[in-house]
Amino acid sequence: MMGWNRLRWFFPMLILAGAILVFVLRSTMNDYVLSIVCFTGINIILAVSLNVTNGFTGLFSLGHPAFMAVGGYVAAILTFPVARKAMLLPALPAWLAAQQWSLLPALILGGLGATFAAFRVGFSVLRLKGHYLAVATLGFLIILQVLITNLESYTRGPLGLNGLPMLTNLWWVYVWAVITIYVCWKVKHSSLGRSMLAIRENEIAAECLGIPLARTRIMSFALGAFFAGVAGGLWAHLVTAITPTTFSVIMAFNLVVMVVVGGSGSITGAAFAAVMLTVVVEVLRPLEESLEAYGISEVIVAIGLLLILLYRPQGLFGSQEPAFVVRQRQRVSGEVGRASSYQNGKGGGIKSIF
């Protein structure tokens, strides 16, 4: 029964430890460090949610920033103070100009907007595979950028919206990161998640086992998009500005790098890679400035990616979660001793990292 107790407490303790960390950080660190931690958290949300689409179901999507943009703009327009709306967005319809929402409903509506966009795009695009899907989602990202740029009465076009209320703080980011990880974890370790992984591994076999291809793919696409939309809203209210060029191809690249480096399908891996990448870029920033060698961090990230692809193509974590968590899961179902064989496969490279 000990294992059962331990598992029961493992995740709540982890969440509590995180909350204490947030509290400590907020009372000791300056705003600059806190904003970096917030960006790290937002990147965790993005990487883990993209992992549902790219990692679980194997849909190579470059459209994640597009869903961020949808969520970001929807949330930004909703929270924008009425007085500033009258000034910056005079052409806004009256009913919308009168809205001034608080952050939570704005984030959720932003997420739902992104989900809706994912459904709409998914129906036409998800029959494509591999490179074709990547190109199509990239096309969606660019179309959306052009749309935002030209929808001036809602978005102020290329100028973007600035002076948004700074509503995002580390608590908001933390809670959403926990929700994202919880939902993705739950999905992965359930029958639904197995059916997604089955599609990634072999579409025809999955379909012949009665797994509906289109429905499952769209579900994973839309689930990823929801959290991307929320992350977009958090982002907008952290930077306090939002422009169409924020959500760029570069960002899509960085997010895909996080999933690939972490290991497609591994939630721990995606979160770990998101932290690493954000921190590396931030740590290198002062170096760039003192050397006046701008772009060094991008070069280092790219070299890192190349090395991973050459020497560890399945990513740091493969499809798996760390062995100690998995072992606890299995102890629960009363199967000690078999857990170690989980590490023998391709994906079990955890030991080499820790």
Partner 1 sequence: MATEDALLLEVEGLGKQFGGVRALEGYNLTLKEGELMGLIGPNGAGKTTVFNLITGVLRPTKGHIFFRGKDITHSRPDQNAALGMARTFQNIRLFNQLSVIDNVKAGVHMRHGAGLWATVLNLPNLRRSEQAIEERALEILSTFGLMDYKEELAENLPYGDQRKVELGRALATAPKLLLLDEPAAGMNPQETGEIIRLISRIHQEHDLTILLIEHDMKVIMGACESIQVIDRGEVLCLGTPEEIQNDHRVIEAYLGKSKGEGHA
The contact set with partner 1 (CB under 8 A) reads 183, 186-187, 190-195, 197-198, 201-202, 204-213, 219, 223, 265, 318-319, 333, 338-339, 341-342, 344-347
Q: Please identify, using beta-carbon distances, which residue of 137 and 195 lies nearer to partner 1.
A: 195
Q: Please, are residues 349 and 317 in contact by the beta-carbon 8 Å criterion?
A: yes
Cβ atoms of 273 and 259 within 8 Å: the answer is yes
Q: Least distance in Å: CB of 51 to partner 1?
A: 15
Smaller CB distance to partner 1: residue 107 or 141?
Answer: 107
Smallest distance, partner 1 to C-beta of residue 241, A: 33
Bridge-based pairing of strands 161-162 and 241-242 is: antiparallel
Q: How far apart are CA 113 and CA 308, in angstroms?
A: 35
Q: Is residue 30 helix, strand or coil?
A: coil
Shortest distance, position 221 Cβ to partner 1, whole Å: 13
How many Cα neighbours within 13 Å face the side chain of 338?
Answer: 7
| CB of 333 vs partner 1, minimal distance in Å | 7
Length of the chain: 354
Smaller CB separation from partner 1, 119 or 342? 342
Alpha-carbon torsion (305, 309, 312, 316), positive or negative: positive
| Nearer residue to partner 1 within complex by CB, 93 or 130 | 130
Q: How far is the CB of 319 from partner 1 (least distance, A)?
A: 6
* DSSP, res 339: G
Question: Between residues 57 and 246, which has the closer beta carbon with respect to partner 1?
Answer: 57
Distance of closest approach, residue 49 Cβ to partner 1, in angstroms: 13
Quote the least distance from Cβ 327 to partner 1, whole Å: 11
The residue written with tokens 């499809």 in the block is: 319
Q: 271 vs 47, 204, 265, 278, CA distance in Å?
A: 7, 31, 11, 11
Output 84 or 194, the one with its CB closest to partner 1.
Answer: 194
Q: Nearer to partner 1 by C-beta: 155 or 319? A: 319
Q: Which long-range contacts (CB under 8 A, 24 or more apart) does 207-215 make?
A: 214/126, 214/127
The Cα–Cα gap between 140 and 125 comes to: 9
Question: How far is C-alpha 293 from the chain's CA centre?
Answer: 29
